[in-house]
Homo-oligomer: A and B are copies of this chain.
Amino acid sequence: MTHETIADAGARDLGPGLGEVATHAVELYPAEDPLVLDNGARLGPVRVAYETYGTLNAAGDNAVVLCHALTGDAHAAGHHGDPERRGWWDVLVGPGRAIDTDRFFVVCANLLGGCRGTTGPSDVDPATGEARGLDFPALTVADLVRVQRALLRRLGVRRLAAAVGGSLGGMQVLEWTLQAPEEVDRAVVLCASARLSAQNIALSTAAREGILRDPDFQGGRYPGTGRIPRAGLSAARMLGHVTYVSEEALRRKFDRRLRDGDAVRAPPRDGHDWFAPVFEVEHYLHHQASSFVERFDALSYLYLTRVMDAFAPFEAPDAEERLGRVREAGTRFLVESFTTDWRFGPEHSDHLAAALSGAGVPVERHDVASPWGHDSFLLPIGEHLDLVAGFLAS
């Protein structure tokens, strides 16, 4: 994703980075011992795609898990053959980088419900030979975390030096500490939220609506038909992407520039070509949408956005008890936001940090200046890289 972000990379020399890496897959939760989800449904086997960087130490306690955001995948760092095309968090992860692979054993798994190698709603169910579609069970952030915990146990990890994630990834990190605080030494929660606002939910609802109503969605039975809800998914990506970047980022990068300069300023004859991209920002969004439709699945988009809507751990009846266990476990938090983020802005991180602090959990809270909006957590922003490095070294 790095090469698709809006900002050009910063000037900092990050060193050579990881070399070629591979995505692995493992089957967890055999049918006879399935995953039991929050809704009571049973799911097994569950295939999990993941990557690892660095080496697990003998004690099994130098692991760092990276929890990915809505449209991420297991390929966080290094490359798959083309050193110019690197994993989505390559700026943060590698030898000598903020998450130092000379020191840590780093693991990143594609999420349950995803579409990049881990079991999700568009995968073929081995039991029926057909995709599950909307029969796939409803999920929670807690379910996403359960699967990653099982993967780490399988890999021999006994304790996490850190769990790190941005956006939905940060929500998983928070949930992980509430679910199993004794497993997590440090938690890095970046531009996340512990309760989506009405506006957050409304924007996700609008994005989902186009997919759900797209005739090619076919009630979720599109996998295997040769048709996918391309219209709905494209519009959803465009809308979603606008929320990932700040107004200032779009102004700096595009303002009102036209690709063909003043030549197209005159109104065209009729409507036939009028709605094709002419502004640079439109070309950018079209590129975002067309590449997204190739790599991401509409059912995964529906499921993982709905998971976010529902997440409100501090409003659960057992919130106080769970927070007490986090305090007892000694888990420490770094909670970062970015000044121009309007998806999960500073107020979301303030709320999240205040709930932790109020329960006596140690929290470092930083609002990092960045013009780039929500996607800042993916970018080589010096203050952000240094905060993560410093927190992990502390």
Docked complex Cα distance between A269 and B250 (Å): 40
Q: Which residue of B lies closest to A203 (CB)?
A: B242
For A277, what are the chain B residues with a Cβ–Cβ distance below 8 Å?
Answer: 205
Most B-side CB within 10 Å, residue of A40, A234, A239, A250: A239
Would A269 and B238 be within 8 Å (CB), given that A195-B256, A251-B197, A282-B202 are in contact?
no
A372 → chain B, closest Cβ, in Å?
13
Expressed in whole angstroms, the Cα–Cα distance for A266 and B357 within the complex equals 27
> Would you call A250 and B205 a contact (CB within 8 A)?
no
A212 to B231, CA, bound (A): 8
A256 lies within 8 A of B138 (CB)? no
When distances are taken between beta carbons in the complex, the residues of chain B under 8 Å from A270 are 41, 134-138
Q: Which of A205, A220, A242, A253 has the most CB of B within 10 A?
A: A205
Q: What interface size band does chain A fall in?
A: 35 or more
Complex contact B250–A197 (CB within 8 A): yes
- How long is the Cα–Cα vector from A216 to B216 in the complex, in angstroms? 11
Least CB distance, A253 to chain B, in whole angstroms: 8
Is B234 touching A269 in the complex (CB atoms < 8 A)? Answer: no
Q: Contact flags (1/0) for A358-392 with B, using CB distance below 8 Å?
A: 00000000000000000000000000000000000
Decide if A182 is an interface residue (CB 8 Å cutoff): no
Task: Assess whether A271 is interfacial by the CB under 8 Å rule.
Answer: yes
By the criterion CB–CB under 8 Å, are A140 and B210 in contact? no
**Per-residue 0/1 for A204-215: is the Cβ within 8 Å of any B Cβ (1 yes, 0 no)?**
011111101111
Q: Is the CB of A234 within 8 A of B209?
A: yes
Query: A36 CB to closest chain B CB, in angstroms?
Result: 13
Please determine whether A134 and B299 come into contact, CB atoms closer than 8 angstroms.
no
The smallest beta-carbon distance between A219 and chain B, in angstroms, is: 9
Complex Cα distance, B281 from A239, in Å, reads: 18
- Residues 253-311 of A contacting B (Cβ, < 8 Å): 253-256, 265-272, 274-275, 277, 279, 281-282, 285, 289, 299, 302-303, 306, 309-310
Given A250-B197, A250-B202, answer yes or no on A235-B215 (Cβ-Cβ < 8 Å). no
A306 touches B232 (CB 8 A): no
Q: Chain B nearest CB: distance from A300 CB in Å?
A: 11
A198 touching B232 by the CB < 8 A rule?
no
Residue A329 is within 8 A (CB to CB) of chain B in the complex: no
Q: Choose among B39, B209, B232, B285 the residue that contacts A266 (Cβ–Cβ < 8 A).
A: B39
Interface residues of A in 138-186 (CB under 8 A from B): 138-140
**CB proximity of A168 to chain B, nearest CB, Å:** 16
**A320 on interface, CB distance cutoff 8 Å:** no
* Among B197, B208, B250, contact of A199 (Cβ-Cβ < 8 Å): B250
Across the interface, name the chain B residue whose C-beta is closest to A215.
B215
Knowing A41-B270, A136-B271, A272-B134, say if A202 contacts B281 (CB, 8 Å): yes
Extra 9 A-B pairs, beta carbons < 8 Å, given A138-B271, A197-B256: A37-B267, A39-B266, A41-B269, A41-B270, A198-B254, A199-B250, A205-B279, A206-B238, A210-B210
Chain A interface residues toward B at CB < 8 A = 37-41, 121, 133-140, 195-199, 201-203, 205-210, 212-216, 220, 230-232, 234-235, 238-239, 242, 247, 250-251, 253-256, 265-272, 274-275, 277, 279, 281-282, 285, 289, 299, 302-303, 306, 309-310, 312
